[in-house]
Amino acid sequence: MLLKARTLLALLVLAPFFASAQPWRPAAGIASTHELKIGESTLQVDFANGSMDLAPDQVLKHIREAAEAIAAYYGRFPVARARLLVVPTQGGRRDSIGGTTWGDVDGVAGFTRLRIAEHATQADLDDDWVTTHELDHMAFPDLPEENHWMEEGLASYVEPIARVMTGNLQAQKIWADMVRGMPQGEPGTGDQGLDHTHTWGRTYWGGALFCLVADVEIHRQTKNRKGLRDALRAIVAEGGTIDHNWPLPRALEIGDKATGTHVLTDMYAKWKDAPVEVDLPKLWEELGVRAADHGVEFDSKAPLAKVREAITKSSY
C-alpha cells in the first residue's frame, strides 16, 4: 500500500501535533539500527522496541534476501537509500507479517514498515512474500488514486518472479499460483475498467493479470528478446521510483520505448475504461502450463514455452 503524496504532506505539516501517528517514528522508540548494502544501495533497518521471538539476525537475513530478489529483477536495487522499520506486534502468528511502503520520507527515497508478530517463526519468514512485495513498490512512481491497481498488481506480479530468479521459489510454484489466482482478476458484472473498478480482486489480481498479458505480448512481439522486465528497468533508470509522482501514461511510454513496442500504452487504452476478459485457458495452453494433482506441469513443446521460461530467467 502507498500513502499518497498529498496525505503524506498533511502528516508532515501536522507532525508536531501528533508525532506518535507517524509510522516512521514508532512511539515505542528504536531498539537497534543496522545497515545492509545491496549493490550500490544502502538499506537502513531499524527495529522498534518490543518483544519478538525471532532474532534480529534472522529478520535481517530475510530482508536481505528480499532486497536481493528485487535487485536481481531490476538489475539493481531501485533507490540509492531506503529504510525499513521492523515493528513487533502483539498476538500469535496469524497474519504474522504485514507491510506498508511510502515514498520520500525523512530524506530517504523509500520507507517500508514491516509488522512482525511477536511469535512469528523462521517458517513464517520462509513463507513470507510481503517483504519482497513491499520493496518492489519502491521501483515504480507514485500514481494517482485511479491507478492504484498498477501499483499493487505490479508488485504482486514481480514479487514471485524475482524470488524465482534468486532461487527462493520454484517456477512450478508461481505458475500454479497464477493458474489459481489470475481468474480473480477477470472483470465481473458491472466492471468499468481497471481505472474505475477498485475491488480487491481487480486491484491486485487484475493488475497482475495486466502485467502478465503485457509481459507475454512483449516477448511475443520481440521474438523473446525483450520483456516487461526491460520496460520496468527503463522506468527506474528514468527516475520512475516511489519518491516521484508521475501520471501512469508517462511511465508506460518509457517502458514501450525500451522494448520497441506499443504494448503497454495500447493495453492501457483498452483496459482502463472497459472490461477486458482474458482467455486464460488458452493462455495457459500456449505457455505450456498444465494443471496437475501436485500443482502444474510444463509442456516444453507449447507455442510460448520459451516465453514462459524467459519470464523467470535472469537473462533471455
How would residue 4 be classed by pLDDT, with cut points 50, 70 and 90? very low
Q: What is the pLDDT of residues 58-105, one digit of tens each?
A: 999 999 999 999 999 999 999 999 999 999 998 765 668 999 999 999
Please give the pLDDT value at position 27: 75
226: left (phi over 0), alpha (psi -120 to 50) or beta: beta
CA dist 308 and 93 (Å) reads: 35
Per the listing, cell 506499443 goes with: 262
- Note the pLDDT tens digit of each residue in 7-42: 343 333 333 333 445 766 777 788 999 999 999 999
Q: Which pLDDT tens digit goes with each residue over 232-290?
A: 999 999 999 999 999 999 999 999 999 999 999 999 999 999 999 999 999 999 999 99
With b for 16 or more beta-carbon neighbours within 10 A and e for fewer, the 34-53 pattern comes to: bebebeebbbebbbbebebe
**Average model confidence (pLDDT) for the chain?**
92
Answer whether 0.85 is exceeded by the pTM.
Answer: yes
CB-CB contact of 117 with 93 (8 Å)? yes
Residue 52 near residue 15, CB atoms below 8 Å: no
